[in-house]
Amino acid sequence: MQKQGKKSISGATWVSLCLIVLVYVLVFIAEQVLPPTSMLFTVLKKGATYALIAVSMNLLNGFTGIFSLGQAGFMLIGAYVYAVFTIPLSQRMSVYQYYDGGIVQFTLPIFVAMILAGLVAAFFAFLIGLPVLRLKSDYLAIATLGFAEIVRAVFQWDKLGPLTNGSNMLRMFPNFNNFNLTDAEGHVTVYLSTLIPFLISGVCIALIVLLIHSGYGRALQAIRDDEIAAEAMGINLFHHKELSFCISSFFAGVGGAMLAMYQTTVQAKSFTSAMTYEILLIVVIGGIGSVTGSVISSFLFVACSEWWLRFLDEKQMIGTFEVPLLRNGFRLVVFSVVIMIVVLFFRRGIMGTKELPDLFRKRKGART
Amino acid sequence: MWNTVFPYLLSGISVGGQYALIAIGYTMVYGILRLINFAHGDVFMVAGIIMIYISASGMPLYVCIPLVILFTALIGFLIERVAYKPLRSAPRMSVMISAIGVSYTLQNLVLYITGGLNKQYPTIPWISDSVTIGPATTKIVTVVTPFLTIFLVVALVLLINKTKIGMAMRAVSKDFETSQLMGININSVISTTFVIGSFLAGVGSILYFTNYNTVIQTSGAMPGLKAFVAAVFGGIGSIPGAVIGAFIIGIVENIIKGMDVILFKSGVIARPLGLATFSDAFTFALLIIILVVKPTGLFGEKATDKV
């Protein structure tokens, strides 16, 4: 899901691009053929959402070397901005039932609201970045974690109820199913509810990849590798960190909006630090510093947790023998053990720092 | 006025003492390994769960409590050996990720064992009894906590300043490599640190959960984070700093929780403002302010960066 573009486009890049287009075509075809209730689509939708969020976190942790743990906070802001501005007017009375229909009395188109979600998240990132980005590694981690907790508390404040609905749920806003094309009677003619999230996430990730390969991106990687040397080469540390922090938060905000669409409801209390940890672990499994790795591991992670490993949570019988240990929660234990093994023994993750085109290059090199 | 504030102040001091016991674990580990042990809050929670299961087996309390503390210390030791020792020469970010992984694992393990339900903490006779002090009625544990905390802290400071292992700890936290060259067994010093930290977290968990009654897999996260903030506030690496920071945070947090009632009763406001929502947020706001204004905390030593 990346485009390398610019100057000379190598064969490996073309192969990767074709592969990505092929994935999109397959998604489109699968959606028309398979029943829309299939587990596959749940995984694909959530996977696309997590892929974007994981890549945005990787931009900070993997490419800029800022160990930020505020992702859940920015996702929360994005999800709320999207939800608040897209709930249809006719539904506001029932959603904001304790606050007389809320104070926002207009709606924005879906895509405008998504971009706004990103912008608001980026604005907050700008503000919080001013003090926090001057801190060193682990202090920065804990300060951004604290920021996410503050955001969570503020959004649940009763006095902000007319805007955020207090600690109550936001719902009734357009979700992924609204992307399906329907005929006059409301029958779905073309299913797009999986393809569109793929496209949104794909475009955003492509933008991040372009940024990483630009001059700014190289400056960011220089900061990651050695702050002092980078500063000596004339890179303004603070400006570049702030830029990376805002951009990452922008996409985390858009990702939050997508998560809201996936869940169809939003509630501030679900955006805990555990959510940030989960995304961080996805990034680690994929390989810190690899966009491709983050994307692959997002889909793997979501597929395992929602689909493939579900059987671990239920009683299984082999003949008359009941498999021991299997009961609610066992899936997560297996998961945690796998993650610890990756963290301790395979620190490079799935991809290390390699990207998709590198895979084809290597194979070509082996042949000649 | 005083009659309204006093109960909040009292529970603030008590919670502060419990945070202090956790915060020491953070500050000692950070002092030696320069690692934020994200799993420490979960060790505290696991201590609560162990207590529930051990006391359910019907053993008398005077056996239960030492066992809980022993097991907690053992868990701290094992975590260090399994998850941090193999990464001793790895970049700091890897160790921190490993700590987050341990926290995730402990929470999921407890979720699996308990089925994700709130577990009732056993009642410990005497300290669960009610007592009335002036205008406030509270459990005896509230009164006992600050004294016990101060007693343990004094014992710990004596240990660090007067014994051989304490001297080794101080040496390792000053300079990791040099102390290794001087013949100090780094691994045993680090293990001792984790054992002491977990021991105090175990004691803290008995006091804390006697007050709050239920344990669930996420109960350790918030007290853990707050204790960490307390450690940073007091100057990370400094034990008295962590204790004072913890008491300040505990007190202010509880005052904010009761702010609505206090302001209402003293006639400043006519309607409640819902300020209690911010009792958690306050801690983190304080953290960010401290980090920006005085990153070394109240008692922290100034660290110099070498190029």
Long-range contacts at B262-269 (CB < 8 A, ≥ 24 apart): B262/B1, B262/B4, B262/B5, B262/B8, B265/B1, B265/B4, B266/B1, B266/B4
Question: What part of A 249-278 touches B (C-beta under 8 Å)?
Answer: 272-274, 277-278
Q: How confident is the model at residue B159 (pLDDT cuts 50, 70, 90)?
A: very high
Cβ–Cβ pairs < 8 A, chains A and B: 135
Q: Is the pLDDT of residue A175 over 90?
A: no
Higher local confidence (pLDDT), A68 or A360 = A68
Q: How confident is the model at residue B211 (pLDDT cuts 50, 70, 90)?
A: confident
Distances (CA, A) of B19 to B14, B15, B219, B294: 9, 6, 13, 21
How many other CB atoms sit within 10 Å of the CB of residue A72?
Answer: 28
Q: How confident is the model at residue A363 (pLDDT cuts 50, 70, 90)?
A: low
| 3-class state of residue B77 by DSSP | helix
Q: How confident is the model at residue A8 (pLDDT cuts 50, 70, 90)?
A: low
Q: Contacts of residue A277 in chain B, CB cutoff 8 Å?
A: 100, 103-104
- Across residues A227-232, what is the average pLDDT? 90
Confidence at residue A2, expressed as pLDDT on a 0 to 100 scale: 47
Residue of A nearest to B96 (CA): A138
Q: Does A326 touch chain B (CB under 8 A)?
A: no
Judged by CB atoms closer than 8 Å, whether chains meet at A277 and B103 is answered as: yes
Judged by CB atoms closer than 8 Å, whether chains meet at A146 and B225 is answered as: yes
Q: Is the pLDDT of residue A366 over 70?
A: no
Q: Are A259 and A275 in contact (CB under 8 A)?
A: no
Distance, in Å, from the CA atom of A63 to the CA atom of A217, rounded to the nearest integer, reads 8
Distance, in Å, from the CA atom of A42 to the CA atom of A47, rounded to the nearest integer, reads 8
Distances (CA, A) of B244 to B29, B235, B303: 18, 10, 21
Question: What part of A 166-225 touches B (C-beta under 8 Å)?
Answer: none
Q: Is residue B202 part of a domain?
A: yes
Q: Are B211 and B12 in contact (CB under 8 A)?
A: no
Distance, in Å, from the CA atom of A271 to the CA atom of A263, rounded to the nearest integer, reads 12
Q: Tell me which amino acid residue B131 is.
A: V
Confidence at residue B77, expressed as pLDDT on a 0 to 100 scale: 95
Q: Is the pLDDT of residue B293 over 90?
A: no
Q: Are B21 and B149 in contact (CB under 8 A)?
A: yes
Q: What are phi and psi of B258, to 5 degrees?
A: -95, 5
Q: Is the pLDDT of residue A280 over 70?
A: yes
- The DSSP code sequence of A308-365 is ITGGGGS--EETTEEPTT-STTHHHHHHHHHHHHHHHH-TTTTTTT--HHHHHHHHHH
Q: How confident is the model at residue B302 (pLDDT cuts 50, 70, 90)?
A: low
Q: Is the pLDDT of residue B44 over 50?
A: yes
Residue B132: domain span:
2-293
For residue B85, what is the domain's CATH number? 1.10.3470
Could you tell me which of B230, B288, B297, B299 has the C-alpha nearest to residue B19? Answer: B230
- Distance (Å) from the alpha carbon of A87 to chain B's nearest alpha carbon: 26
Q: Is residue B300 part of a domain?
A: no
Q: Does A228 touch chain B (CB under 8 A)?
A: yes
Write the CB contacts of A274 (distance below 8 Å, at least 6 apart in sequence).
B104, B107, B218, B221
Question: What part of B 203-232 touches A (C-beta under 8 Å)?
Answer: 218, 221, 225, 228-229, 232
Distance, in Å, from the CA atom of B229 to the CA atom of B286, rounded to the nearest integer, reads 8
Over the range B156-180, which residues count as b (16 or more CB within 10 Å of their CB) and which as e? beeebeeeeebebbebbbeebeebe
Could you tell me which of B232, B248, B228 has the C-alpha nearest to residue B17? Answer: B248
- Across residues A298-320, what is the average pLDDT? 81
Distance, in Å, from the CA atom of B111 to the CA atom of A313, rounded to the nearest integer, reads 12
Q: Is the pLDDT of residue B195 over 70?
A: yes
Encode pLDDT of B240-291 as tens digits. Answer: 899 999 999 999 999 888 888 888 888 777 777 777 778 888 888 888 888 8
Q: Contacts of residue B281 in chain A, CB cutoff 8 Å?
A: 149-150, 153-154
Q: Is residue B305 part of a domain?
A: no
Q: Does A367 touch chain B (CB under 8 A)?
A: no
Encode pLDDT of A204-219 as tens digits. Answer: 999 999 999 999 999 9
Q: How confident is the model at residue B51 (pLDDT cuts 50, 70, 90)?
A: very high
Judged by CB atoms closer than 8 Å, whether chains meet at B288 and A146 is answered as: yes
Q: Are A290 and A348 in contact (CB under 8 A)?
A: no
- Across residues A184-190, what is the average pLDDT? 79
Q: Is the pLDDT of residue B216 over 50?
A: yes
Confidence at residue A244, expressed as pLDDT on a 0 to 100 scale: 94
Distances (CA, A) of B272 to B9, B268, B277: 20, 10, 12
Confidence at residue A34, expressed as pLDDT on a 0 to 100 scale: 85
Encode pLDDT of B221-245 as tens digits. Answer: 889 989 988 998 888 888 889 999 9
- The DSSP code sequence of A169-194 is PB--S--GGGGSEE-TTS-EEE--TT
Q: Is residue B74 part of a domain?
A: yes
Optimal mutation site among A134, A157, A339, A343, interface B, most CBs of chain B within 10 A = A343
Q: Is the pLDDT of residue A364 over 80?
A: no
Encode pLDDT of A70-86 as tens digits. Answer: 999 999 999 999 999 99
Could you tell me which of B14, B79, B22, B16 has the C-alpha nearest to residue B48? Answer: B22
Q: How confident is the model at residue A367 (pLDDT cuts 50, 70, 90)?
A: very low
Structural domains in chain B (count):
1
Encode pLDDT of B91-146 as tens digits. Answer: 888 888 899 999 999 999 999 898 888 888 888 888 878 888 877 788 888 888 99
- Across residues B57-83, what is the average pLDDT? 92
Q: To 10 degrees, what angle do helices A273-286 and B221-234 make?
A: 90
Calculated CA dihedral for residues B155, B161, B162, B168, nearest 10 degrees: 120
Confidence at residue A115, expressed as pLDDT on a 0 to 100 scale: 95
Q: Is residue B288 part of a domain?
A: yes
Average pLDDT score, chain B: 88
Q: Is the pLDDT of residue A112 over 90?
A: yes
Please report the ipTM that was assigned to this predicted complex. 0.84
Over the range B187-196, which residues count as b (16 or more CB within 10 Å of their CB) and which as e? eebbbbbbbb
Question: For chain A, which residues make up each domain, given as ranges?
Answer: 11-367
Encode pLDDT of B160-189 as tens digits. Answer: 999 999 999 999 988 888 999 999 999 999
Confidence at residue A7, expressed as pLDDT on a 0 to 100 scale: 52
Q: Does B86 touch chain A (CB under 8 A)?
A: yes
Question: What part of B 12-51 touches A (C-beta under 8 Å)?
Answer: 34-36
Q: Is residue B64 part of a domain?
A: yes
- Across residues A327-336, what is the average pLDDT? 83
Confidence at residue A260, expressed as pLDDT on a 0 to 100 scale: 94
- Across residues A126-154, what is the average pLDDT? 86
Tokens of A92: 């506001």
Residue of A nearest to B102 (CA): A340
Tokens of B298: 């109240």
Closest by Cβ to A339, choosing from B104, B116, B291: B104
Optimal mutation site among A57, A76, A149, A312, interface B, most CBs of chain B within 10 A = A149
Confidence at residue B270, expressed as pLDDT on a 0 to 100 scale: 77
Confidence at residue B266, expressed as pLDDT on a 0 to 100 scale: 80
- Distance (Å) from the alpha carbon of B144 to chain A's nearest alpha carbon: 31
Q: Is residue B116 part of a domain?
A: yes
Confidence at residue A4, expressed as pLDDT on a 0 to 100 scale: 47
Q: Is residue B299 part of a domain?
A: no
